[in-house]
Chains A and B, each alone.
Chain A
Amino acid sequence: MAQLILTGSLKNLTNGIGEFTIQARNVHQLVGELKRICPPLAPLIESEGFAVAIDGEIYQDILFAAISENSEIHLIPPIGAG
C-alpha cells in the first residue's frame, strides 16, 4: 500500500496524524481517497496548487501520475518561479 507522509504544519489539518495508508493508483484517485479519509487535505491538491511528490519526483497538476504499491507520497506547496 502506498504511504502518504505528512510533516510540519500539514499535520494541523489531520489532528497530528503524519501517515496515511493510501489505496490509489494515480493522483486523481489519491484526491478521491483524501476526500474520504481526510477531507481537509483534498483541496490542497485540487485548488491550492500543491504538488504531489511520488517517490521523490514532484508532480505539479499531473492528475494521472502513477502511484505504485510501495510509493511514498508527500504534498509540496507551490514553489514560485522567478
Chain B
Amino acid sequence: MNDMTQTNLERALKIVGSRPARPDGVDKVTGRALFGADKSLPNMLVGRVLRSPYAHAKIISIDTSKAEELKGVKAIVTSTDFEDFPSEFVPNGEMVVNMKDITRNVMAREKALYVGHTVAAVAATSEDIAEQALALIDVTYEVLPHVLEVEDAEKPGAPLLHDDMITIGIEPAPESASNVAKRVEFGFGDVEKGFSEADLIIEREFTTQQVHQGYIEPHACLASVSEDGQAELWCTTQGPFVVRNFCSKLLGFNAAQIRVTASEIGGGFGGKTVVYLEPLALALSRKSCRPVKMEMNRAEVFTSSGPTSGAKIWVKIGVKNNGQITAGDCVLKYQAGAFQGAPVGPGAMCAFAPYDLKNVRAVGYDIVVNRPKVAAYRAPGGPISEYGVESVIDEIAIKIGMDPIELRLKNAAKEGTIAPYGPKLGPIGMIETLEAAKSHPHYSAPLGPNQARGVASGFWFNIGGETSSSITINEDGTVGLTLGTPDIGGSRASMAMMASEELGVPMELIKPIIGDTNSLGFNFLTGGSRATFSTGTTVVESTREAIEELKKRAALLWEVSLDQVEWFEGHARLISGDEPKTMSLAQIAKQAGKTGGPIMANCSMNVTGAGPSLGTHIVDVAVDEETGQVSIIRYTAIQDAGKAIHPAYVEGQMQGGAVQGIGWALNEEYIYNEKGELENTGFLDYRIPVCSDVPMIDTVIVEVPNPNHPYGVRGVGETPIIPPLAAISNAVSRATNKRFDELPLSPPKVLAKLMHG
C-alpha cells in the first residue's frame, strides 16, 4: 500500500474517464514529433555494425588495421573497448541483469553466438564509408556446430554455448556444463493426489515459435561525448534511466556524466528495454570526440535485437465431471537465445494464475540456443504458458460437455485465492470479465458456415517500481508536469488528466513533458503496464503536495491559519468567515514570487500495490479447408482496467495487444535455415497483421478498482496479448474438430493437420 494515497474511488470525476485530445497529438499527426532517427548534430558521424555471419563460432582474432586507414573512418571499437564483468546479477531498477552476458551481447568477446551478433563497430563521415570499412575488418572465426531448438540443446552432446553453464535450481547441481541455465518450480499441494481424484485428465504438448515485438521504428540513437568525458545520448527507449545505467556500467562512465534524453518512441512492447546500439555509439563518440548516429536497418532489428522465446510446453489438467479442476501441472522449456534469461519464471508463475487450484505445479527451464538473446515482449513469458493451459481447458470443456466460460467461472481465481506462486490475490476481475464475456452479444451471435468460436482468458501481474515526477505552477497559473516514463501509447494525456482532476483546472492548462535523466530521480522504464499506475501515483501525490503549498500561500495572503483553507475546483477557499472568499490558482500563482517563491512539488517513490489485470477474449474464425487459411471474422476483448483514466487509450492497448496476439497465433515465426541464418528478415516474410487481416476489435472495459492507486488504476498494457493465442487455437480446433497444438496456425501447418491429422 502506498501510504500517501487517499483513493478517489467514491468521488464523482470531472475529467478522469473522459476522452480529451492528447497533448502530443498535433506533433504526431504533422510529422513534427522527433523519434530516435530524427535528430542530427553538427560534425556528426555515422556508425555501422559488423555482425557475425555464423551462428556459433570462436572469435580467434579481429584485425581492424585496414579499416582504420580508410579515409573518413574516425573510430572503430571491438570488445577491447568494453569492460568485462564477472558473472553476477545486478539490479537495474527493478530489472536484474547479468553484466557478463550484457557486455557480451552488446559486443561479442570470445565467441559469436548467433548470426547477427555484434563483432565490431565503425564510425565514419558517411554511411557508405562506414559500410566499406566494415568490409575491411578482418575477423578470423573458428566455426562451431550450432543448435537452435530447446530439445536439441538439452540433448547430451549438444553444442555447448557456454562451457561454464551449470544448471541452477537442480539438486544436486550437475557436474558438467549444459545449455540449461536454470530450472524453476512453482506450486503447492499434491498434483499426483489431485490427478488421482480426477474423472478426466487431459495431457498435451504444445510448440510455439520465436516471434518479434515488431515495432515499426528500428533502434536508433545519437551519442555525443565531448573531450571532457561528458556524454549526451538521444535514443528511442522505454527507459532512459535504465539506458543510463547500462551504458555507465558498460563503458565506465558515472551516472552524472551521461545525460539520456528519450526521443518519442515508435513502439517498444518490451523490445526497447535493453541496449544494443547505445553503448556502441557512445564508445565510438568517445573515441572520435564527435557525435555518432546509429540506426538499425530492418534486417538488423530482426537478427540482432531481442525477440521473445519459442518454446515447448507440456500441460496436464485433471477435472471432476462437474468441471472442478483437481490438479494442474505444466513443464515449460523456453529458448533464452544466446544468453540465459528466458522469461520462463513469470511464464510458470502465471500459467495457472487465472484459476483457484488446490494442487498446482509449474516447472520451467531456461535453455540457451544460438539465436539472439531474448528481450521482453508484452507480458514476457505469459502468452506462451497460458496458451497451453487455456487450450487444455478448452479441450476439457468439449470433453465434459461444459460451456468454456462456465468451466472457467467454476474455477476462477478471485480475491483471497492463493496464486500458484504463493501469495493471496487481492481484488481481481477474472469473474467479472468472464461474466461480461458470457453476456456479450458476441457470445451468443450465430456462426456462419465453416466458422467456430473460441474463448480464452489471461492473467498478468503488472508492476510498480521506482518513479519520480514533478509539477510546477507557472506564474500565470498554468501547470507543467515532468514525467520520467516515456509515452508509448498516450500516457502523458492520462497524467495531465489526473493532475487536472486533482487541481480542478482544465487539462488544456497542463503541459506534460517527458524529462531527461537529469531532470528527475530514477524512473524505472515504461513497461510492465506500470506507467499510468506508477507515474500516475506520483503525479497525483505531487499535485496534492502542490495544492498544500497553494493553500499555504492563500492562508498567508488571507492572514488565516492553514486549516481554514480548503481547495475546491481550482480555487483556495476560506472555510470559515462571514463572506465567502476564494482565490484562484492563477491569482495565487501570480503572487508566488512574493509569498515565498516558485511553487513546485515532486514525488519520488518506489510504487507498490500494482494489481493484476485479467482478460477474456472471444474470437470467431473461419477456416478454409482447401488452403488452410484462417480468417478472423469477429473479435471481442474484455479486460479489467481497474479504472480507465482515458478509455480510448485503454481500448487502444486492448486492441493493439489482441492484434499482436492474432499475428502470433496465425502467422509470425522466425524461420532459420540449417546454417542458423534467419531467412525472414523483413516485414514481407515476417508477416505481422495488416489492416485487411483483421476486423474491428470490440472492447469491453471492466472496472474492478485497484485499492492501491488513487483512482483505482490497474495496468492494462500487457494482458491483452495473452488470450488471443489460445482463443484462436481453440476456435480453429472447434472449427475443424481437430486439436491444434502448435503455433503459428499458418496455412501450411493447418493444411498439414487437416490432411494428416
CB A4 to nearest CB in B, in angstroms, measures 10
Could you tell me the distance between the alpha carbons of A60 and B213 in the complex, rounded to whole angstroms?
Answer: 26
Range for the number of chain B residues in contact with chain A: 35 or more
- CB of A8 within 8 A of CB of B185, answer yes
Q: Is B90 an interface residue (CB 8 A)?
A: yes
Task: Summarize A's interface: helix, strand, loop or mixed.
Answer: loop
Closest to B526 in A: A81
- CB of A47 within 8 A of CB of B528, answer no
Q: List A contacts of B169 (CB < 8 A).
A: 9, 12
CB A77 to nearest CB in B, in angstroms, measures 5
- CB of B270 within 8 A of CB of A57, answer no
- CB of B606 within 8 A of CB of A61, answer yes
Closest to B169 in A: A9
- CB of B606 within 8 A of CB of A76, answer no
Could you tell me the distance between the alpha carbons of A79 and B466 in the complex, rounded to whole angstroms?
Answer: 15
Closest to A43 in B: B89
- CB of A57 within 8 A of CB of B1, answer yes
- CB of B609 within 8 A of CB of A81, answer no
Give residues 1-20 of A contacting B (CB, 8 Å).
5, 7-9, 12
- CB of A79 within 8 A of CB of B185, answer no
Q: Is B694 an interface residue (CB 8 A)?
A: no
Range for the number of chain A residues in contact with chain B: 20 to 34
Could you tell me the distance between the alpha carbons of A59 and B94 in the complex, rounded to whole angstroms?
Answer: 11
Q: A residues within 8 Å of B by Cβ?
A: 5, 7-9, 12, 47-49, 53, 55-62, 65, 72, 74-82
Q: Is B560 an interface residue (CB 8 A)?
A: no
Could you tell me the distance between the alpha carbons of A62 and B89 in the complex, rounded to whole angstroms?
Answer: 18
CB A15 to nearest CB in B, in angstroms, measures 9
Tally inter-chain residue pairs, CB-CB below 8 A.
123
Quick one: given A49-B96, A80-B380, A82-B528, are A57 and B186 in contact (CB under 8 Å)?
A: no
Could you tell me the distance between the alpha carbons of A72 and B419 in the complex, rounded to whole angstroms?
Answer: 13
CB A79 to nearest CB in B, in angstroms, measures 5
Q: List A contacts of B183 (CB < 8 A).
A: 9
Could you tell me the distance between the alpha carbons of A44 and B392 in the complex, rounded to whole angstroms?
Answer: 34
- CB of A74 within 8 A of CB of B91, answer no
Q: Is B72 an interface residue (CB 8 A)?
A: no
Could you tell me the distance between the alpha carbons of A81 and B718 in the complex, rounded to whole angstroms?
Answer: 9
Q: List B contacts of A47 (CB < 8 A).
A: 88-91
For B578-616 the 0/1 string (1 means CB < 8 A from A) is 000000000000000000000000000010111000000
Quick one: given A57-B1, A58-B423, are A77 and B610 in contact (CB under 8 Å)?
A: no
Cβ contact of A60, chosen from B1, B94, B269, B379, cutoff 8 A? B94
Could you tell me the distance between the alpha carbons of A77 and B533 in the complex, rounded to whole angstroms?
Answer: 21
Q: List B contacts of A7 (CB < 8 A).
A: 186-188, 421-422
Quick one: given A9-B183, A49-B96, A60-B94, are A79 and B89 in contact (CB under 8 Å)?
A: no
